[in-house]
């Protein structure tokens, strides 16, 4: 079965989580999308890049989510979410997705 790149999973989690929270006006629902994508990505990071990389990428995923909030006050909500997503997804690709599976 084809592997979905974790960069796509994290992008879906960050952008999708924000979009769901914004359009449904139910923040916990957006948080569920964010958490589900994070869990899928973490499992894949562990399998393909190892425990240390999974921990670092998981921390970056959470930091991207948290960091987008204060950044939104400076550049706007969507630009902040997209900026955080680019950083997290790009790093996930560089660390886990571009390498062959272990």
How do residues 20-34 score in pLDDT, each as one tens digit?
Answer: 999 999 999 999 999
Q: What is the DSSP string of 34-96?
A: HHHHHHHHHHHHHHHH-HHHHHHHHHHHHHHHHHHHHHHHHH-HHHHHHHHHHHHHHHHIIII
Q: Could you give the CA distance from residue 64 to residue 72 in angstroms, rounded to a whole number?
A: 12
Residues 39-75 have pLDDT tens digits of: 999 999 999 899 999 999 999 999 999 999 999 999 9
Q: Which long-range contacts (CB under 8 A, 24 or more apart) does 19-23 make?
A: 22/77
């Amino acid at each position: 079965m084809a592997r979905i790149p974790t960069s796509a999973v994290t992008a879906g989690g960050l952008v999708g989580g924000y979009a769901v929270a914004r359009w449904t006006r139910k923040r916990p629902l957006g948080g569920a999308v964010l958490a589900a994508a994070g869990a899928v990505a973490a499992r894949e990071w562990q399998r393909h890049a190892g425990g240390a990389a999974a921990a670092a990428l998981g921390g970056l995923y959470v930091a991207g989510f948290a960091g987008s909030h204060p950044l939104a006050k400076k550049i706007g909500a969507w630009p902040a979410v997209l900026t955080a997503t680019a950083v997290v997804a790009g790093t996930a690709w560089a660390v886990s997705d571009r390498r062959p599976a272990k």
